[in-house]
Each structure stands twice: as structure tokens, then as C-alpha cells.
Amino acid sequence: MKTLILTEKPSQGMDFVRALPDRFQRKDGYCEGSKFIVTWAYGHLFEIDTEEIAGKKWKLDALPVFPRFFKYKVIKGTGKQFRIIKSLLKRKDIGKIVLSMDPGREGELIARLILQQAGWKDWSRVYRFWTSEALTKEVILREIERVKPASQFDSLYYSALARQHADWLVGINGTRAITLKVNDRTVWSLGRVQTPLLYLIVQREKEIENFKPIPYGIVYAFFEKDGKKFKAYLQLKKEEIKRLESESRADDENEEEKKKDEGTRLKVETAFKIAEELSKEKAGYVENIKKSKKSEKPPLLHSLTSLQREANKLYGYSAEKVLQVAQDLYEAKLISYPRTDAQHLAESSRELIKKVLKKLGKEDLIPAVDKVGKRVFDDSRLTDHFALIPMDRWKERPNFRKEHKNVYELIWRKFVGTFMPDYVYETVEVTLKIKNYRFMAKGKTDIQPGWKSLYREERSENKLPSLVLKEAVKVDDVKAEKRKTQPPSRYTEGMLLKMMEKLGLGTPATRSSIIETLKKRRYVISRKKSLQPTEKGRELVEKCNGLPILNVEMTSEWEKALEEIYRENRGAAGYDAFISGIKVFTEDLVERIKKIKFKVCVDRKTKKAVRKWKKGDLF
């Protein structure tokens, strides 16, 4: 009897063909040997048949649609391959089936749907191949002997199925209901995750528009010692601020502003008055010097989300592009499985990590593998997969572009850096006095670059000249500057991914596609790395005002519930309970939409509903 191996993509199928100890013959849609048959899908082969379930014609009184059974149809262009797989499953010489899709929720769903639609019944003969490592010959030969019964992954399948069906129930019913109710010849798409995410983007835009800048002033002085100039900012104590009748620091500073080292914020007129008072002073003196030796341990390894955020920050890559590039690198066996939310490694993987370091030519770091603790190796922080790591040296491929090398290097430096020495540096804070006013100058000197040597864009050494307590220092100039508080920044994709991770919206594997969906539906556009809602996106949120579809917290709870179906092994019962809750939500959503009265723009001549985009519309 032969073992039938089903992979998610042809390239993965060929990895098995090259690795397994068998002589294979290439046939139409599969490869056959004396012991194994390897075939493949093209990702998803099936999709929910919406027209069959909900009908081609949209009718408000037919909503909500709650199918008793979800019907599927073959995705266009994949029918031939499905028929090949189906014929192989019917062969009497097949003893065991090994599902070798990507190790995750979506891969499980792809495999199960293929077997179900092919009419497969004997699940006792179905096994699961599972690894986070690249599909090298060594890994395939090792893990093919460790396959587990597919039944152990039933809850993973039901979690995936619940997500797919919930997205359909909320999306189809919500979209049809609001589109029919608005009745302006435009499709208004709603989604279980995309709509709350759009709400966050629109709310941020409103915060920016409603922001009222507050003017303030700062004072700084230029000092000179041994021919080197350095800058120091005025620092006032609370009682001094009160005495000068100045304003305290603004309460609405955003995160970027808080990082600014600009001294005390004052009323503009107060700042210029102080600068004028000190303009003729020629010298100050050193009142205090505070030195501190500090160290920073290497950062955590990359998860998919942290990789997407860093690539967006440094290169402006979209989350979807980073995922596609990472998938290419994984299939080229250069990195581990990319769709991971972990930033740690398994305790049992220390020997693997030593082998990887040797492949990378970093043998000098191997002794550190046994020394690092839970900062790197921590089983309690793992889910299905360990952190993203390189599996081999960089190698060019014909289909690789600059993006591939850049993303690989981000993964490489996180991994290599985590076994390098700490970054050690010294900070110096010098208080200088001009008359009765204190100014603060800050310096930083590297002692041991350590892992930081891999991060050139973050190196911020700022050496001050050698200063001694009570010595006089020349004052070159004292200036005041008028500034304004800044509005919150628009979300970049990196910032949005961080917010989604914090709120539990989506998964590492789906977050990029959710952002892309908002772009494709023209609800948001990218401008200079930032995401900005279009007029249509803003109108959708306005139309959904008061509807539960905008509830970010509820969507977050749904994501937790989906994960618990798998983590707590709830199986079919977990699926049923989740979908029951989704149906209650969807029914309430549709009924609320039906009661809303929407304003419709009407063409004066034709008397037909039209869309009237405002001047300056980003469409």
C-alpha cells in the first residue's frame, strides 16, 4: 500500500519528492513512486457558494440568511487539480493519507475541505505532518516518521471553519442589508474585523481634524568647550514655572512628542523674555554632572507581526508584501514558518539553533546558546510555532527582489543579535547654570556595542566634551523658539498592526489581508506610509454609527473565542456555540439596519439615487 501526501502548493510537493527515499515519476498533477504518491493543491481549492446559498438577487426581506449547511464550489481554475486529487483518493492501493499543508488554521481548513468535497469517509487513515522548520530533506525525513492522527487537529479545523462561516454570516448579511437600505447604487461592504478596523482609522482622522494646537515656547543655549559646541535646554522646577506664570507641559502630547528632549515648555512670551534676559551673558558654569552606566539586552526574536512592523517602518513595505516575501523565503528554505505569533523558541530547539548558527558562519556564538534563558527559550510563551528565524545563509533566487534580501536581513539580525553580548553605554547629564537659570545637556557614549552593532539606524552616540564641576563654560548664544503641540499621527501599517495585536484583532496570518481588503474596497488609501480614510470609508462609518459592527472590543472577544476552540479542544461543540453567538449578533445587526433611515442623494434630472462625492474626495 502507498502513502498519499497532500501539500498546499506544488513547490512544497516537490520538496517531498526530492527528500523521500523513493523513485518518482512526474505525472499530470502528482508524482508517483513505489511507496509514496505526492500531490498538491493551489492554496484554497474551494470557496463558499454565496449565490447558491443567498441567491443572486439581493432582497432586504430575505435577510438574515442562515444556511442550514454551507455549500462550496470549486474556485475557478482549480477544478482539474481537484479532480486529480479526488481520483487519487479513490485508488485502492492508498493505505495512508498525510496532510502536509502549512501548519496553521488556514492550512488545516484547506486540507479538510478537499477531502470532504471529495467524499472521503475513513478519517482513521488520515495523518498530519506538522513542522515550523523549513522543508529541508533532513526535516521531511525526520517529521514524516512523526506524523500524528488528523483527529488530534479536529479542534484546529473547527476553529478555522468557525472563522470562515462567521465572516460569511456577518459580511454577506451586513453588506446586503446596508447596501439595500442606503440604495444609492453603491455596494457598502461590511466585515467582522475590517469594519471595526476602519472605525479606528476614521476616529484617528477625526482626532487629527479636531485637534487644536497649543503654542508654547522653549529656551536653549549653545555652550562651547575645547572648540566643541553642544546644546542644552532650559529646565525649570514647578515652583519656578509658577513664579514665571508660565504654562506647564501640554497634556495632549502624542507619543512622538514625549520622546523629544526640548526642556521645559513655557508661555511663548515668557520663553522669549528669558532668552532676551540671558542674551548678553558670556559664560555659565557646571553645577552638576551625573554619569550612569547602562546596558540593554538583545530584543526578542521576530514574530510575523513584529517583522511586518519593522519592515514598514524602515522600508515602507505593506504588511501584505512582507507576508508574501516571507512566504517566498520560507519556500526557499531560508527562514522558518512565517505565520507565527511567537517571539521565543522551544527549550528542545537548542541543538537546532546551534546548527543554524553554524550554517550562518557564526560558530563563535554557539557557546551563548546554552547560556541564554527564558528571554529566548521559553516553552510557556509558544503556541503552534516558534519565532521567525533564518534557517540558512542568504542565497539569491531568480524570482527574488531587493525586498527579499531586506526582509531576510531583518530576520537574520534579530536572530544573530539575540546571542550577542549586551549593548553597554554611558549616559551623562550635565546641569549648567547661566545666572539663576539651569540648562540640561545630555550625552551618550558607547562602551560595548554588542548586538546594537547590527542596528546602524538606531545608533545615537552623542559625546559631550570633558567637563568638570564648577568650571566656567563659554556661552555662544541663548535662543527661544515658538512651537506648537502636534496632532496624533495617522496610522502607518506598522502602527495599525501594533494596535491590532494589542486589541486582539485578527491573527498574524490574517492581519495583512484585512488591511489590504480596506485598500481594495477603497475605504482607505496609503499616503506617505500613512493610511488615510477615503470619503467612502468615512461615510460607511457614519452610516454604521450606533451599530454593533463598530464594536472593537466585541471583535477582540470573538478572536479569543476562536482561539479557545482550538486551545481548549472544544471541537464541534465549540464551533456550534460560536456560530450560535454570531447568528444572534448578525440578526440584531440586520434588524437595526432595517430600522435606520439613510439620506439618499437624488439626481434632479433623472430622479435616481446617486453618489455625490465631496470636493477634495480622496477617491
Which pLDDT tens digit goes with each residue over 261-296?
Answer: 688 999 999 999 999 999 999 999 999 999 999 999
What's the mean pLDDT when you consider all of the chain? Answer: 91
How many whole angstroms separate alpha carbon 476 and alpha carbon 360?
52
DSSP letters, 324-371, are HHHHHHHHTTSB--S-----SB-GGGHHHHHHHHHHTT-GGGHHHHTT
Highest CATH level, class, for 215-298+424-484: mainly beta
72 classed as catalytic: no
d(CA 560, CA 569): 14
Position 382 scores a pLDDT of 84
Average pLDDT over residues 56-61: 94
Q: How confident is the model at residue 42 (pLDDT cuts 50, 70, 90)?
A: very high
The Cα–Cα gap between 290 and 430 comes to: 6
| pTM of the complete model | 0.83
The CATH classification of domain 304-417, taken from the options 3.30.70.1150, 1.10.290.10, 1.10.10.10, 3.30.2130.10:
1.10.290.10
**Integer Cα distance of 582 and 504 in angstroms:** 18
Can you read off the three cell numbers belonging to residue 136? 529541508
Backbone φ, ψ for residue 205 (5° rounding): -65, -40
Q: Say whether 598 sits in a helix, a strand or coil.
A: coil
Taking residue 612's Cβ as centre, other Cβ atoms within 10 Å add up to: 10
Q: Is 493 exposed, middle or buried (0-12, 13-18, 19+ CB in 10 A)?
A: buried
- Total Cβ atoms within 10 A of residue 344: 20
pLDDT band with cut points at 50, 70 and 90 for residue 466: very high
Q: What is the DSSP letter of 388?
A: B
CATH topology of domain 160-210+490-610: Topoisomerase I; domain 2 (1.10.460)
pLDDT digits (tens, 9 = 90+) for 185-198: 888 999 999 999 99
Q: In b/e form, how buried is each residue of 23-59, taking b as 16+ CB within 10 angstroms?
A: ebeeeebbbbbeebbbbbbeeebbebeeeebbeeeee
Bigger pLDDT: 571 vs 247: 571
Query: How distant is the alpha carbon of residue 604 from its chain centre?
Result: 47
Q: Is 91 exposed, middle or buried (0-12, 13-18, 19+ CB in 10 A)?
A: exposed
Query: From CA 504, how far away is CA 502, in angstroms rounded?
Result: 6
In whole angstroms, what is the distance from residue 438 CA to residue 432 CA? Answer: 6
Q: How far is CA 565 from CA 159, 191, 275, 583, in A?
A: 6, 21, 65, 17
Contact 185, 611 (CB under 8 A): yes
- CATH number of the domain located at residue range(s) 2-146 in this protein: 3.40.50.140
- Burial of 391 per CB tally in 10 Å (0-12, 13-18, 19+): buried
For the chain, state the CA radius of gyration: 30
- Strand 2-7, strand 94-100: pairing: parallel
| Paired strand residues for 149 | 127
Among 219-228, 231-240, 308-317, 484-493, which stretch is predicted with the lowest mean pLDDT?
231-240
Residue 24 near residue 32, CB atoms below 8 Å: yes
Amino acid letter for position 326: A
H helix or E strand, kind and range, residue 106: helix 105-117
Q: Do 98 and 5 meet the contact criterion of CB atoms below 8 Å apart?
A: yes
pLDDT of res. 504: 87
Q: Specify the pLDDT at position 185.
A: 85
Domains of the chain, residue spans: 2-146, 160-210+490-610, 215-298+424-484, 304-417
Mind spelling out the 3-state secondary structure of 502-565?
Answer: HHCCCCCCCHHHHHHHHHHCCCEEEECCEEEECHHHHHHHHHCCCCHHHCHHHHHHHHHHHHHH
What percent of the chain stands above pLDDT 90?
Answer: 84
Whether the per-residue pLDDT at 165 is higher than 90: the answer is yes
Q: What is the pLDDT of residue 599?
A: 61
Q: Is it the case that residue 168 has pLDDT exceeding 50?
A: yes
User: Is the separation of the CB atoms in 293 and 424 below 8 Å?
Assistant: yes
H/E stretch holding 441 reads strand 437-448
Mean per-residue pLDDT, 84-111: 96
Q: Tell me which residue of 135, 163, 137, 125 sits closest to 9, measured CA to CA.
A: 135
Judge contact between 569 and 158, C-beta under 8 A. Answer: no
Pick the catalytic residue from 157, 199, 337, 566: 337
